[in-house]
Amino acid sequence: MATSETTTQVSQPCSDYQGFVPHDQLLNCIHCGLCTSSCPTYLVTGNENDSPRGRIHLMRGVEESRIGLNERVRGHLDLCLDCRSCETACPSGVEYGQLIETFRISDRQKQLEKTGKGLNWFERIFLRDLFPNRKRLERVLWPARLMQMMKLDWLIDRVGIIKLLPMPLQRMQRMLPKLQRDQPVLPRSLPAVGTRNARVGLFLGCVADVMFRHVHWACARVLQEAGCEVIVPKTQQCCGAMEFHTGQTESATHRALANVDAFGEQPVDVVLVNVAGCGAMLKEYIHLEKSGHATSDEVTRLNRFAGKVRDITEYLAGLDLAPPQGELPIRVVYQDACHLKHAQQIDQAPRELLNKIPGVEILEILEPNICCGAAGSYNLLQPEMSDELGNRKIDNILAKSPDAIVSANAGCALQLMALLKQRGKKIPVFHPVELFDASQRKVTWDELRCR
């Protein structure tokens, strides 16, 4: 429940904010408090307004015109990572993620109507125009790749030139991983090895394809070995999450429909994703119905497509694959990505794959359910809380002295790699399928960690 400090020191109630979310959904919360121990921001601040039930209380107060929606209230709502850990803990089945997302998007759109102000410069240039466009992003990152090859990135860090840039750009530079050597774009189709058992679509995403294309190739090879023909539509786009979360529901809906069309060109049994955040968005395309930018026929197609989406670990674990033969004698920490464990309710499938690899030992850490602070663009927009949570996660990981970290989400991987680099720790971060593929190909641990 929200404290009186916040609920009394706010602007006057305004009926303009009624109807942001269905009122009956707000009433589903019984305020039992079981969510508080799983909420990252509440664990850090200890402020009830930064807990799921506190935020629901604030949203309900706004909806019922008991409090006004001012910047202080927005601050508590915007501090939420939307990690959805509270959904896993909730005994009442409250769909908190949909509540907070819908409320914030509605507020964003209402502010646009009232002030005429759209996205800020960072959201417009990077979150709208750059990140969702993988071809444009690849061109922009080419100079960064060259600087890394020439070791100029180290010089820039040492001299401190980067500190002259606005904070979001400093954060972006810090988050930039070591870019691997140019890898070819995946072809439209990759044949199954042996008898074809299935035809699967592989979703590339945007940032993931540019920075983690080697993971796409690893997934494709494992799928081929499993008897899958892999289809990679060239017209597929970003999942639309970045636009959706910044209130651009029309653009997000158009991207979603473009992806439906792309994977509809060649019939596939499932659409596979190796990025937890993208997978959560694709599986919930049906929620775009509320945007009002899709016809009833398009909503039906979005729903049908969403039903075909599977996380790559979820799909492979269901195939009951034979254990690979290459030994990797390493101790690893598997970091649960929030949008895999909480949004998609998948936690055992990645571990099952890792347990099949000869020599791999999985280490359990403290607070495994607490977000690492990445949360999409959150680490760029909420740097203090992101770093607080990220360092908390790294502390728990380093306490186990692992040889490697494994994560099934590109955003988590970027966050962890940046914080490890900041501490001078050379611990590699892998996708679980990446290790499975290395074992299948009998790549040694020395070869893998020096990739």
Same domain, 264 and 144: no
Is it the case that residue 154 has pLDDT exceeding 80?
A: no
Same domain, 10 and 56: yes
The answer as to whether 180 is a domain residue is: no
The answer as to whether 19 is a domain residue is: yes
The answer as to whether 233 is a domain residue is: yes
Give tens-digit pLDDT for 276-325: 999 999 999 988 887 778 899 999 999 999 999 999 999 999 998 999 99
Residue pair 249/291 in contact (Cβ under 8 Å)? The answer is yes
Task: Specify the DSSP class assigned to residue 227.
Answer: T
Same domain, 107 and 138: no
Same domain, 289 and 241: yes
Is it the case that residue 399 has pLDDT exceeding 70?
A: yes
* Beta-strand runs (E) in 203-280: 228-231, 270-273
The answer as to whether 388 is a domain residue is: yes
Residue with token string 């659409």: 271
Same domain, 228 and 132: no
**Tokens read off for 424:** 């001078």
Report the domain count for the chain: 4
Same domain, 299 and 198: yes
Q: How far apart are CA 105 and CA 58, in angstroms?
A: 16
User: Which of 126-130, 158-162, 218-222 has the largest mean confidence?
Assistant: 218-222
The confidence score (pLDDT) of residue 7 equals 40
The answer as to whether 307 is a domain residue is: yes
Residue pair 40/389 in contact (Cβ under 8 Å)? The answer is yes
Residue with token string 């971060």: 429
Lowest mean pLDDT among 8-12, 155-159, 390-394: 8-12
The answer as to whether 11 is a domain residue is: yes
* Percent of the chain predicted with pLDDT > 70: 92
Give tens-digit pLDDT for 224-277: 999 999 999 999 999 999 888 888 889 999 999 999 999 998 889 999 999 999
Same domain, 297 and 366: no
The answer as to whether 182 is a domain residue is: no
Per-residue pLDDT band for 172 (boundaries 50, 70, 90) equals: confident
* Percent of the chain predicted with pLDDT > 90: 68
User: Which structural domain, as residue segments, surrounds residue 384?
Assistant: 322-449
CATH number at residue 195: 1.20.1050
CATH number at residue 420: 3.40.50
Q: How far apart are CA 309 and CA 234, in angstroms?
A: 18
Give tens-digit pLDDT for 93-128: 999 999 999 999 888 888 877 776 667 888 888 888
Measured CA to CA in angstroms, residue 351 lies from 307, 333, 435, 436 at distances of 24, 10, 12, 11
**Last-in-domain residue among 134, 149, 175:** 175
Radius of gyration of the chain from Cα atoms?
22
Same domain, 77 and 156: no
- The stretches of 35-131 forming alpha helices (DSSP H) are 40-45, 52-63, 71-78, 85-89, 96-115, 121-122
Taking residues 430-441, report their average pLDDT.
98
Same domain, 209 and 272: yes
Taking residues 336-345, report their average pLDDT.
96
Same domain, 211 and 138: no
Is it the case that residue 338 has pLDDT exceeding 50?
A: yes
**Last-in-domain residue among 148, 175, 202:** 175
- Looking from the CA of 164 toward its CB, the CA atoms found within 13 Å total 5
The answer as to whether 184 is a domain residue is: no
CATH number at residue 55: 1.10.1060.10
Same domain, 299 and 394: no
Is it the case that residue 80 has pLDDT exceeding 70?
A: yes
Residue pair 357/323 in contact (Cβ under 8 Å)? The answer is yes
Residue pair 279/339 in contact (Cβ under 8 Å)? The answer is yes
**Tokens read off for 254:** 């158009």
Is it the case that residue 2 has pLDDT exceeding 50?
A: no
Helices (H) and strands (E) in the chain, counts: 25, 9
Give me the chain's average pLDDT, please: 89
Same domain, 125 and 110: no
**Last-in-domain residue among 115, 134, 155:** 115
